[in-house]
Amino acid sequence: MSVELNYQDTGGEGTPLIVVHGLLGSADNWRSHVKQWQDRRRVVAVDLRNHGRSPHAEGMSYHEMAEDLLALMDRLHIEKAHLLGHSMGGKVVISLARLAPDRVASLIVADIAPQAYGHGHDAVFAGLRHLQRGNPTNRREADELLAEHVDERATRLFLATNLERAESGELVLRVGLDQIEAGYQDIMQEPAGEGAFEGPVLVLRGGRSHYVPDAALSGLREVLPHSQLVTLDEAGHWLHAEQPEAFQSAVNDFLDSLAD
């Protein structure tokens, strides 16, 4: 059964752009980008299941997350959309495009390939569990707890976007950490569906990221044969945060080139 996703909708005319965050992200992370894009088109930013303000539910397979997104499109009476997904969200939008290609005007895939990946979030999960047990009352305390497992300050700041204040006064995680950890093996797998998506695709990758190496491009083009590749040389995996203007420009150029 699909989950009724939380979303932010700017309204507007034309084919909407639906924005899908990555693992442990949320629609809130895309606020500055949405503010720019909404002058040009309708934008819908979503919280995937177990993320942001969306409900917590068992199951993190790409088939389930794509079905959630498709159900949201139905609920908003969106017949067809441009889909932008970063990292895990990129696999979600590829899954939807393979399962329901008639609902997809184009794909924008940010720093992910349609393949399985190795486990790389042990320290992050350990830090979040340690934070939970520590019951921090302010963000300085939360950062100190996370720092015992996560060295990179930028990563800790990103993870801290998942904190909210409980009625008791403590800072608590709003993500469904139990469900995400239980479904982590599925998150690392390749997208759902079979075959290729034959529509237009923009693949954006960070030049300092290891997620889409040149060795992955032949496999990527088997699934997304009409993809054009743009590399943001000075960016890592969070390319939309590290080079926001270049990221926005690449997305705008791609969407403007399509008959909307």
The catalytic residues are 87, 178, 237
Structure tokens at 239: 């390319």
Q: Please, which residues have CB within 8 angstroms of residue 225's CB and are 6 or more apart in sequence?
A: 196, 198
Q: How far apart are CA 113 and CA 127, in angstroms?
A: 27
Measured CA distances, 241 to 167, 194, 246, 251 (Å): 31, 31, 10, 14
Measured CA distances, 92 to 8, 21, 95, 191, 254 (Å): 18, 10, 5, 7, 20
Q: What single-letter amino acid sits at 75? A: R
DSSP assignment letter at 207: T
